[in-house]
Amino acid sequence: MWEIALSLSLAAPGRKGLPPLLFLTDPERTPDPEGVAAQLPAGAGVVFRAFGAADAVDRGQRLAAIARDRGLTLLVGADEALATACGADGLHLPERAIAELPALRAKHPGWLFTAAAHSAEALQAAAQAGADAALLSAVFPSQSPSAGPPLGQRRFAALVRQAGLPVYALGGVNTKTAPRLLATGAVGLAVVSGI
């Protein structure tokens, strides 16, 4: 998986130091995010999605320590205060919060900002808002409860070409499907349980 992510990253224009591989935490599908993060290669990234958990700050700080030790990028999902408390490198916004990005960037100019996208319109909104990258899903059939119908490899590649910003492939990405993304123009892979 890492080799494919690196190949995508090296071939993609406008990658601006983006991690080739993003691991997205999920309380149900990845109950030990610290264990996964501790196994990631240097240069990868973690998107900590706390979903309001009571132990979010403690877990986020543990992930931040692992990220520092291993040379990982840590983004926090949809929670500016948690990202600040953890000393994260940036923020990952859900599609519904893309409009908040310019104000957040003004407050945190050194942060990396990514946004979720599920359509060409969302990709355009993310680009216009100044996102550093978008995570476009679902590329392949996914077990995520929020995944819609899969885009498929061709539709995904067409959306990447039109996006106006670097795009990660998310949704059903695993060791079997990742090689199919090599010629799509994606900047990298974003995975939950596929890691």
pLDDT in tens, 60-90: 999 999 999 999 999 999 999 999 999 999 9
107: amino acid identity, one letter? K
Cα separation, 131 vs 67, whole angstroms:
22
pLDDT in tens, 21-41: 999 999 988 999 999 999 999
DSSP string, 7-29: HHHHHSTT-TT--SEEEEP-TTT
- pTM (2 d.p.): 0.96
Cα separation, 47 vs 49, whole angstroms:
6
Q: Is the predicted pLDDT of residue 192 greater than 90, yes or no?
A: yes
- Angle among Cα 102, 103, 105 to the nearest 5 degrees reads 65
How is domain 2-191 classified at the CATH fold level? Answer: TIM Barrel (3.20.20)
φ, ψ of residue 92 to 5 degrees: the values are -110, 125
pLDDT in tens, 39-61: 999 999 999 999 999 999 999 99
| Domain locations in the chain as residue ranges | 2-191
